[in-house]
Structure 1
Amino acid sequence: MDLALNQRHLSQITTQITTQIADIQAISTPKYDRENTDIGIVHLGPGAFHRAHQAVYTENAMNLSGGNWGICGVSLRSATARDVLAEQDNLYTLAILDKNISYQIIGAIKEILVASEQSDEVITRMSLASTKLVTLTITEKGYCLAADGSLDLSHEDIKHDLENPTAPISAIGFIVESLKQRKLNGVKAFNVLSCDNVSGNGDKLRRAVLDYAKQFDASLRAWIDTHVAFPNAMVDSITPKTESYTIESVSKAIGLQDNWPIQREEFTQWVIDSNWQGDRPDWENVGVIFTNDVEGFEKAKLRLLNCLHSTLAYAGSLAGFETVFDVTSDKGFYQFITKLATEEIIGSFTAPKELDVTAYSHDIIQRFLNPNIRHLLAQIAFDGSQKIQMRVLPTIEDNLTLGRSTKLLSLSLACWFEFICQALKSGKEIVDPMANDFANMPALLSNDVREVIEAFLSIESIFGQTFKNNKQLKAQLVDSLTTLRIGDIKNISKIVDQLSA
């Protein structure tokens, strides 16, 4: 492409819309006065998901009703986002790849700072009265929590920040230092909204912030506790990472060179606690759900979308499939996850009143059948020791308590066991924080499935005592792992039938 995507060349896109051939979808551009829109949000962690999700909701809200809700993205360490997007005036393309393909130029991000290089500028931006809201996508690791949910004061980043509070490196340090500056200068506090895919994200973040503030000043902690809201939130939209082919296809579609577009499915969801006050964009009019039952939506997502995703990742990988679309397109695997959702997941929790859980379950499986989203099973399989604790184990535990079936859930868990065992036997890299622990467990190389299961269930940090001592679950895991090893997982329907008998 001869012309780069930037503010000056946006008019080229408008011209192109009228000249494109009929089968190319229209390309939308910002409808508000971007140049004169002030920054009202600081977002920590402006990665792909933020740019495909929260920034888009904010863009749509400003397109609808304006407002000074420009975003300052703060990358805690990497300068890549700043350096690439700066050349495009922080504009980028959202490609929605579904049955209908469309493109939207997003202008909500006005500025990107790199905290490791520009800590003073970050604190200044966060301390300004014009900054009304701080949002985050930093993953749960960025909260620096100990096992009991408190702030881990031995965490290297936290130790650094406690010794250098005016030059922090952690998100927690930046939030507290900027709130301290606002308190000292008589500036109203901002609210803090976590957008991480973490259960009770607002509650966890609040505790970390208050624990940190307490180390300096009890009055600062009390001021934050009184004046700052940390609403829980749930987010959802499948957002594969940008590949070279994404850059090429998007640039061709918009007629300008975009070096960092993002791709996403059409479905998107953002659910936020309604129990907080303060300035915010007009999100409720562009699809954000404000509710008193974020936990219910969270459970629905974790148990349906995420549990099914992980099940497909491990079972599908064992069967030789590469993407979510590939494995879900297989009739047997489609029937397996449909039966798992219908018979063992739905009914394991109370759905929020705003959600038709049967329709939601059906829609999720249909999302997996999107041929335009190349979502790699290997990517979903990462960090399984952490993911199954949120996605699979709570449903098993609740079903055991309720006297409901856990046969298919046991198969799902056994697929993760076998995925790890096969990787160890073949010398394949395991992307998991417990990879070294697995490598130091000789029992996982055993041909005795009982020995393998006992070894996995002995990992207390994952399974605690509940699963280790449950004879019913152990028997089902033995059946599942045995059937996986003697059968052909490509014929998953036969395995499901055997275990369901």
Structure 2
Amino acid sequence: MTPRLSRTTLSGTDLTGTDLSHAGPAGRTPVRGPAVDPASTTVGLVHLGLGAFHRAHQAVYTEDAAAAAGATGWGILGVTQRSARVADQLAPQDGLYGVLTKGADETSLRIVGSLRDVAFPGTSTPYVVRTIAAPTTHVVTLTVTEKGYRRAADGRPDLADPDLASDVDALAAELAGAEPERPARSPIGLLVRGLAQRHRSDAGPMTVVCCDNLAENGPVVAGLVHAILAAVPGGDRLAAWVATSVAFPSTMVDRIVPATTDQHRAEAVRLTGLEDQGLVVGEPFSQWVVEDTFAGDRPAWELAGATLTADVAPYERAKLRVLNASHSTLAYLGALRGYETIAQAVADPSLEAVVRSLVDEDVLPTLQAPDGLDLAQYREDVLTRFANPNTGHTTVQVAMDGSAKLPQRLLGTVRDRLAAGAVPTAAAATLAAWMSYVHATTLTGLEVAGRRVTLDDPLADVLASAAAGPLDGLPGRLLAVRQIFGDDLAESEVLRREVQAHLRTLAVV
């Protein structure tokens, strides 16, 4: 029986932080152990949303920063969201897990030791709140996806959301003196309750770092926190403290992190001799741009390759509009053609041409290049990354949550082009692909790689209702979903005509 990865079993190997070489079918594969000593690393950062992306991205940067600076106080308490599954996978492993990096021609594996504890809010909310409030904790980071912030159509917190409403009720009780015992049901609610306890404990300033694909994500989270406090009796004192003692820097994150498969796990076992139920997979490329605005101590992330800057916006806009919009375009068009992976989709010359048209004709005219970034080369780098067959990023995976992703990734480009008096023809092709995908997954049926696909979207019921009806009215009905398109795009006849024309070429209408 293969032993399970843990501090005990790891100590019985030679994976002690140095690069080793293990012979395998593809040659010699670099493998190394943690860059920090897990036994001497203490928690100084709480992360909400303990998914694969965080483990392959911020946790790696944090470990490398601590190692470069010789710091021992930047261990992470990782907090899951909707279930205890990831915590249950990682707790028996003492928080250790591997990152299997798969390039087109190279593979490497490292064991990460910066995750020092794991928790599920359903059973451990008091512990998470206490840790946020601890004077030795200085940073809270978040990767909870776009829909995890529980925002209403106007961008404010959706106080009618039952999970957020439960946390707001708990917060009101805690501001009145109750102990934080009720299980948190939303990430943003858990964050605010943790900040309330930190204020109550007089534990010092705090920095909250959003790492989700939201435009101006720092101000977005700050606005949600202040709006929640404005809705809670007695929240004014806490709001005043947050305004002076809590920083919300903006960030831009980038690394493709596909779903981990049984094949990946078997490969990791061959390389380490240990079973790893927390294994994650990533591409070789990784980028993190962070606004250099902190309320107190922070890891020396710049020593690990992160970019600290006074203005994240140009990097963020380029990534959302070039990479993320292209990703979504390939996902919808690829799924409609039956391609299972993004790599398969971008290998189709006609689909690659659609992406090039989107970027060159509509996206690049709306962007200002950040210092040192050649946008045309960035486009080529993005296409090369998408073509990496080892990432295995599926079209259906990328296609999910379109109603939350499109406003961030594409609709800013559409609005900018319309405001400039241009017709966003190429961007309309992406919208047509999304509408065709919605129609196929809710009404006519769509199979990808032999599997029936249904629409996975927070507005699935609304979209299904809008998709039903005469096909020639499909663009108008979906554009009328104002939670996504607002009043301006819903009423744009230019946009409707362009989308209609592209839908005809997709043989939908």
Farther-moved stretch of structure 1 (219-228 vs 416-425): 416-425
2:122 aligns with 116
2:458 aligns with 433
Task: Say if 2:46 and 2:76, in contact at 8 Å, map to a contact too.
Answer: yes
Query: Deviation at 1:480?
Result: 1.4
- Alignment RMSD (CA, Å): 2.3
Change (3 A) 1:175 1:352: same
Change (3 A) 1:98 1:455: same
Query: Deviation at 1:35?
Result: 0.9
Task: Say if 1:247 and 1:260, in contact at 8 Å, map to a contact too.
Answer: no
Change (3 A) 1:145 1:331: closer
1:491 aligns with none
2:40 aligns with 36
Which amino acid counterpart does residue 9 of structure 1 have in structure 2?
A: T
**In structure 2, the residue corresponding to 1:103 is in which secondary structure?**
strand
Distance 1:347 1:254 in 2: 48
Change (3 A) 1:282 1:164: same
**In structure 1, the residue corresponding to 2:15 is in which secondary structure?**
helix
Query: Deviation at 1:444?
Result: 4.1
Question: 1:212-361 maps to which residues of 2 (within 5 A)?
Answer: 212-214=228-230, 215=232, 216-361=234-379
Task: Say if 1:385 and 1:462, in contact at 8 Å, map to a contact too.
Answer: yes
Change (3 A) 1:471 1:150: closer
1:144 pairs with 2:150: yes
Change (3 A) 1:126 1:461: closer
Query: Deviation at 1:122?
Result: 1.6
Task: Say if 1:161 and 1:167, in contact at 8 Å, map to a contact too.
Answer: no
Q: Given the alignment, which residue of 63, 67, 83 partners 2:67? A: 63
**In structure 1, the residue corresponding to 2:506 is in which secondary structure?**
helix
Distance 2:478 2:15 in 1: 58
TM-score under structure 1 normalisation? Answer: 0.90
Distance 2:298 2:31 in 1: 27
1:464 pairs with 2:486: yes
**In structure 2, the residue corresponding to 1:87 is in which secondary structure?**
helix
Which amino acid counterpart does residue 163 of structure 1 have in structure 2?
A: D
Question: 1:158-169 maps to which residues of 2 (within 5 A)?
Answer: 158-165=164-171, 166-168=180-182, 169=184
1:409 pairs with 2:409: no
Distance 1:182 1:400 in 2: 46
Task: Say if 1:24 and 1:253, in contact at 8 Å, map to a contact too.
Answer: no
Query: Deviation at 1:224?
Result: 1.4
Task: Say if 1:132 and 1:280, in contact at 8 Å, map to a contact too.
Answer: yes
Change (3 A) 1:135 1:424: closer
Change (3 A) 1:210 1:438: closer
**In structure 2, the residue corresponding to 1:164 is in which secondary structure?**
helix
Change (3 A) 1:184 1:486: closer
Q: Given the alignment, which residue of 56, 77, 87 partners 2:92? A: 87
Query: Deviation at 1:257?
Result: 1.3
Change (3 A) 1:19 1:467: closer
2:412 aligns with 394
Identical amino acids, percent of aligned pairs: 36
Distance 1:163 1:390 in 2: 30
Distance 1:151 1:190 in 2: 21
Change (3 A) 1:13 1:325: farther
Change (3 A) 1:174 1:301: same
1:4 pairs with 2:26: no
Question: 1:132-211 maps to which residues of 2 (within 5 A)?
Answer: 132-165=138-171, 166-168=180-182, 169=184, 170-211=186-227
Task: Say if 2:22 and 2:29, in contact at 8 Å, map to a contact too.
Answer: no
Query: Deviation at 1:13?
Result: 4.2
1:292-338 alpha-carbon deviations (Å, 9 max, x no partner)? 22121111111111111111111112222111111111222223322
Distance 2:306 2:151 in 1: 28
Task: Say if 2:330 and 2:345, in contact at 8 Å, map to a contact too.
Answer: yes
Query: Deviation at 1:125?
Result: 1.6
Which amino acid counterpart does residue 142 of structure 1 have in structure 2?
A: G
TM-score under structure 2 normalisation? Answer: 0.89
Query: Deviation at 1:86?
Result: 1.7
1:482 aligns with 504
Change (3 A) 1:468 1:43: closer
Farther-moved stretch of structure 1 (249-258 vs 177-186): 177-186
1:385-439 alpha-carbon deviations (Å, 9 max, x no partner)? 2222222222122112223452222222111222222334424522222322233
Change (3 A) 1:289 1:19: closer
Query: Deviation at 1:120?
Result: 1.8
Farther-moved stretch of structure 1 (300-309 vs 383-392): 383-392
**In structure 1, the residue corresponding to 2:27 is in which secondary structure?**
coil
Query: Deviation at 1:226?
Result: 0.3
Change (3 A) 1:28 1:179: same
Query: Deviation at 1:77?
Result: 4.2
Task: Say if 1:345 and 1:395, in contact at 8 Å, map to a contact too.
Answer: yes
Task: Say if 1:385 and 1:432, in contact at 8 Å, map to a contact too.
Answer: yes
Query: Deviation at 1:363?
Result: 0.5
1:17 pairs with 2:35: no
2:393 aligns with 375
Change (3 A) 1:421 1:13: same
Which amino acid counterpart does residue 20 of structure 2 have in structure 1?
A: I
Which amino acid counterpart does residue 461 of structure 1 have in structure 2?
A: Q
In structure 1, the gaps of 5 or more residues are 488-501
Task: Say if 1:324 and 1:368, in contact at 8 Å, map to a contact too.
Answer: yes
**In structure 1, the residue corresponding to 2:367 is in which secondary structure?**
coil
Which amino acid counterpart does residue 507 of structure 2 have in structure 1?
A: R
Distance 1:179 1:467 in 2: 38
1:446 pairs with 2:470: yes
Task: Say if 2:205 and 2:295, in contact at 8 Å, map to a contact too.
Answer: no
Query: Deviation at 1:48?
Result: 0.8
Distance 1:408 1:286 in 2: 38
Which amino acid counterpart does residue 171 of structure 1 have in structure 2?
A: P
Query: Deviation at 1:190?
Result: 1.9
Query: Deviation at 1:140?
Result: 3.3
Change (3 A) 1:374 1:145: same
Q: Figure out how many residues of one structure are paired with residues of the other and give that number.
A: 484
Distance 1:382 1:352 in 2: 29
Which amino acid counterpart does residue 94 of structure 1 have in structure 2?
A: V
Task: Say if 1:43 and 1:135, in contact at 8 Å, map to a contact too.
Answer: yes
1:54 pairs with 2:55: no
In structure 2, the gaps of 5 or more residues are 172-179, 447-453
Query: Deviation at 1:39?
Result: 0.9
